[in-house]
Structure 1
Amino acid sequence: MSRMVGTVSRGIRTPIIRSGDDLVEIVTASLLDAAASEGFALRDRDIVAMTEAIVARAQGNYASVDDIAADVKAKLGGGTIGVIFPILSRNRFAICLRGIAKGAKKIVLMLSYPSDEVGNHLVSLDAVDAKGVDPYKDVLTLEQYRALFGYEKHPFTGVDYVAYYQELIEGCGAEAEIIFANDPRAILPYTKDVLCCDIHTRARTKRLLKAAGGERVLGLDEILNAPVNGSGCNEKYGLLGSNKSTEEQVKLFPRDCQGLVEAIQGRLLEKTGKHVEVMVYGDGAFKDPVGKIWELADPVVSPAYTAGLEGTPNELKLKYLADNDFAHLSGEALRDAIKDRIHKKDGDLVGQMVSEGTTPRRLTDLIGSLCDLTSGSGDKGTPVVFIQGYFDNYTTE
């Protein structure tokens, strides 16, 4: 009988990971134990992925609020600092804001509106339209914002992030002033020392500010990009990708993990004789249609992956073939014709109508999103994901 199952994604349980743990040994042993327990076997081109959180934890890549404060003060002067375009997150940004505020006398916090970069809304677009506000050009003070929109709370968390961030800043001993704008240059009348907290648009934001007269202009990727008082760091991403560990500590995005994925690939080849692809994943890249949140708060989906995961899918659209080229066929004749077309497909289908509607995204972004949904973000206890059949197609037996 022909094979009836395509892609399978399994969450793999592991021990709780602590600083200093050997992830090569733990990931390999956990996967092989799961295979023995559940009765599946590894195959060539299977995929093993581990969440960035366990990699950073094993590395001991942590920093304190005071470490953040020291770096901010040293690099931005410790006076009035513009903090612009942060995401609205208790887990991702609030603890970073505490460190930033401790490193300054005054914070001018500039929030984008109606939503942050990853889709968390302060107010709805409909509310902005109803009030006749143009978010592309209008700069609002806190008083104007409250008069227009009142005290909106996030639909999922129930938090008024405007009040929450103001209280965090003031609780750290800094003065707080809040404005709302979407042009980064709107911060410059308040201060020329600016910390850009956006993630995926940070290069443009910094470029515009520097061209418009910003003096000390940095991004979160330039805070804790080297150790401070013996702290962890991330040379490439700094504070980007960090999240709350304790009330006084952040876990940073993992560093130098290319060697890890290659070592796990080598260990699995040694143990099983199979060439398995390996990657580290963080947030998936997808949008929630209800909450409107675009999930990707990490700087990248995958900071490290083995060579076989490079590139984008090269797939034919089966329904296009069935409805167009082979509309006159059915049953076994249709199956055989489609299989034959797959066997003969070009190595690069970009721009061809027969591939229209397939997903034009990088493999690591697609696979990372699948992994993120499989492992979840709570108490599943499966920080390793094992995927089989991802590279199969309709012809694979």
Structure 2
Amino acid sequence: MRNMILPANSGVAAIGLKIGLIVPYDDIASITADAVKTIVDDGDIICITEAVVARSQNRYLSCSELADEVQEKLHLKPGGTLAVISPIASRNRFALIMKTLAMATRGGKVIVQFPIPFDEVGNQVIDEDFATTRLRLKKTLRSLRDARGNTPMLNVLIREIIAGLKLQEIGCHIISIRKIAGKGIADLTVKMPDGKLAVIEVTFAELEKAARKAVGIQKDVSGAEQALAIAVNLEHNYLTMVDANDFSCDKNTEPIKLDFSSQIDSYYEQDVIFADELGNNSFSHPVTDVDYRGLYLQMIEEGGARGEVIFTNNPLKVYDLGYIDGVCIGAVHEREKLRELFASFGAMVPVLTIQDIGPKPWGVIGSNVSDFEGGVLKLLPEDADGTAEKIKEKIKEATGKSVDVLIFGDGAYKDPDTGIYELADPHPAIGVSSGLKSAGLRGGSKLKLVVDTLYSKGYSKEEIIAYLENREGETVDESLGTTPRSATSIIGTLADLVAGSADAGTPIVLVRGFKYEQKS
């Protein structure tokens, strides 16, 4: 492509440029200047993905190197326990970091706290319906337990909630609990793991009577394919369950016994879902199909440690699992808030963020897997602003054109279909040259609002055009301006969208016609 000439009525334009393979110690400034020299113009913004910049700088570190640093900074003794708070759920972004943290414990334990139900960038880590239903049941159970001293009849509700919790663990989806929700005619209505609709009657001891009742109810519930009877023993913390139709025909049918004695304390923790409550459930991401709990437990095991994952929006609950020797904040954007949370509650052990692990300024924030089997991470570029300035100078030297340069990472956009806000880097703009350092927020008035308002007042098209050109005459309320956004974040996001990922092969993006204001 030579001499890119845009039509006179064009606005912002962005085009991805293909270049050859970049390897460590390549001269990224010369390569970029050569890629744009035939089409660049004054005022263009040249964007380069951080991945090729970092590769040209040989920005790699091994898990073993990082593990030694973590061990030293957290003063971890062999066999210690480390809590990892709110990590991003990503094989590429965090799996090797998790392995690194496990290695730092030298045969110890890693406790991972996942928020419910998504990580900070929108990745689902636990099924939202499962988590919402379970926490609601546990909250109700806790309230009933606190109140039942004066009202023994509340045990009837308690037994049904415990039955619901146990059914969840074997893969059932709770549709309703009649005495709580006021819906349905069975004590519980559920969808079984195989998808069948089932009605359930719950009792303390009269399993035969409950089975007969469940069979009768099944006939009255449209679509019900199965009937179950459950007897809950609150004294010894177990329940027995039978297929009501089989049991009604043959009293020798062997009931299934499910013990919950080891889980009863977990059931009363109303804002945490512990590992012993998950039963047969695994939670695969609806888009990537990765079970991040399972993946991180695997990484911890490969790092030579034992792992435990809890789901809660209260990170301090990690302290309920025993003594913690150190804390590592795994979040990217909420890292300082979470550090302050632990500090405000008097954390007596070292607390690090992933920005504190690895070289400054970003540590392992924004790192990617370079060699999964070999345990090697690629970091963000070194001195990204300085590198952008050198590329700018090289382009000026090679072409005589005055441009600005932006090194970009993840774009700051949220996919409405997947719900993922794919910003695992600290900012869309990792580094900028001098001209962009003073770029302010990009705002402005809503053109559609101004046009609609003036047109409704009888202005002709020509009069509206004149108003827009001169902003003279009758004043239109333009207080409803466009949402102010960082100009560099917009440019970085635009570049990321144009460059694409996977094998797109366009790590350089030329942006032309992007107007922005300088900071005042």
**2:385 equivalent to 1:384:** no
Q: Report the counterpart of residue 305 of structure 1 in structure 2.
A: 432
**2:98 equivalent to 1:106:** no
Looking at structure 1, the residues matched to 124 and 460 of structure 2 have their Cα atoms a distance apart, in angstroms, of 49
The C-alpha deviation readout for 1:350-374, integer Å capped at 9, x for no partner, is xx95262513110011111111110
Q: Report the counterpart of residue 195 of structure 1 in structure 2.
A: 328
The C-alpha deviation readout for 1:21-64, integer Å capped at 9, x for no partner, is 1111000101124x2xxxxxx33321101011111111111000
Looking at structure 2, the residues matched to 363 and 304 of structure 1 have their Cα atoms a distance apart, in angstroms, of 13
Pair 132,50 (structure 1): closer, same or farther in 2 beyond 3 Å: same
Q: Report the counterpart of residue 230 of structure 1 in structure 2.
A: none
**Selected match of 1:213 from 336, 346, 350:** 346
Secondary structure of the structure 2 residue equivalent to 1:151: coil
C-alpha deviation, 1:163, in angstroms: 1.3
Larger mean Cα displacement after TM superposition, 175-184 or 85-94: 175-184
Pair 355,283 (structure 1): closer, same or farther in 2 beyond 3 Å: farther
Q: Report the counterpart of residue 11 of structure 1 in structure 2.
A: 16
| TM, length-normalised to structure 2 | 0.66
AA partner of residue 172 (structure 1): G
AA partner of residue 199 (structure 1): V
Looking at structure 2, the residues matched to 44 and 356 of structure 1 have their Cα atoms a distance apart, in angstroms, of 33
Confirm or deny: 8 A CA contact 2:440 2:516 kept in the other structure. no
Confirm or deny: 8 A CA contact 2:442 2:516 kept in the other structure. no
C-alpha deviation, 1:331, in angstroms: 3.2
Larger mean Cα displacement after TM superposition, 24-33 or 331-340: 331-340
Q: Which runs of 4+ in 1 moved over 6 A?
A: 134-137
**2:37 equivalent to 1:26:** no
Confirm or deny: 8 A CA contact 1:65 1:250 kept in the other structure. yes
Confirm or deny: 8 A CA contact 2:443 2:481 kept in the other structure. no
**2:405 equivalent to 1:278:** yes
Looking at structure 1, the residues matched to 44 and 134 of structure 2 have their Cα atoms a distance apart, in angstroms, of 53
Confirm or deny: 8 A CA contact 1:7 1:392 kept in the other structure. no
The C-alpha deviation readout for 1:96-120, integer Å capped at 9, x for no partner, is 1111111111111111111111110
**Selected match of 1:367 from 487, 491, 498:** 491
Looking at structure 2, the residues matched to 341 and 29 of structure 1 have their Cα atoms a distance apart, in angstroms, of 43
C-alpha deviation, 1:192, in angstroms: 4.4
Q: Report the counterpart of residue 252 of structure 1 in structure 2.
A: 379
Larger mean Cα displacement after TM superposition, 211-220 or 264-273: 264-273
Q: How much identity, in percent, do the aligned residues show?
A: 36
Larger mean Cα displacement after TM superposition, 263-272 or 197-206: 263-272
Looking at structure 1, the residues matched to 440 and 276 of structure 2 have their Cα atoms a distance apart, in angstroms, of 49
Looking at structure 2, the residues matched to 391 and 320 of structure 1 have their Cα atoms a distance apart, in angstroms, of 21
Pair 186,21 (structure 1): closer, same or farther in 2 beyond 3 Å: same
C-alpha deviation, 1:389, in angstroms: 1.3
Larger mean Cα displacement after TM superposition, 158-167 or 261-270: 261-270
C-alpha deviation, 1:124, in angstroms: 4.3
**CA RMSD in angstroms, aligned pairs only:** 2.4
Pair 183,383 (structure 1): closer, same or farther in 2 beyond 3 Å: same
Looking at structure 2, the residues matched to 325 and 269 of structure 1 have their Cα atoms a distance apart, in angstroms, of 45
Q: Which runs of 5+ in 1 are unaligned?
A: 36-41, 225-232, 345-351
The C-alpha deviation readout for 1:285-340, integer Å capped at 9, x for no partner, is 11111211111101122121124332111422211111124542333332232122
The C-alpha deviation readout for 1:99-147, integer Å capped at 9, x for no partner, is 1111111111111111111110123444433334489961221122x14
Larger mean Cα displacement after TM superposition, 185-194 or 24-33: 185-194
Q: Which runs of 5+ in 2 are unaligned?
A: 1-6, 140-268
Looking at structure 1, the residues matched to 91 and 482 of structure 2 have their Cα atoms a distance apart, in angstroms, of 36
| TM, length-normalised to structure 1 | 0.86
AA partner of residue 156 (structure 1): V
Confirm or deny: 8 A CA contact 1:192 1:213 kept in the other structure. no
Confirm or deny: 8 A CA contact 2:57 2:381 kept in the other structure. yes
How many residues align structurally? 366
Confirm or deny: 8 A CA contact 1:315 1:355 kept in the other structure. no
AA partner of residue 337 (structure 1): Y
Secondary structure of the structure 1 residue equivalent to 2:293: helix
Larger mean Cα displacement after TM superposition, 56-65 or 319-328: 319-328
Task: Decide which structure has greater strand share.
Answer: 2
Equivalent residue runs for 1:77-226 within 5 Å: 77-78=76-77, 79-104=80-105, 105-133=108-136, 138-144=271-277, 146-147=278-279, 150-189=281-320, 190=322, 191-214=324-347, 215-224=349-358
**2:459 equivalent to 1:335:** no
AA partner of residue 4 (structure 1): N
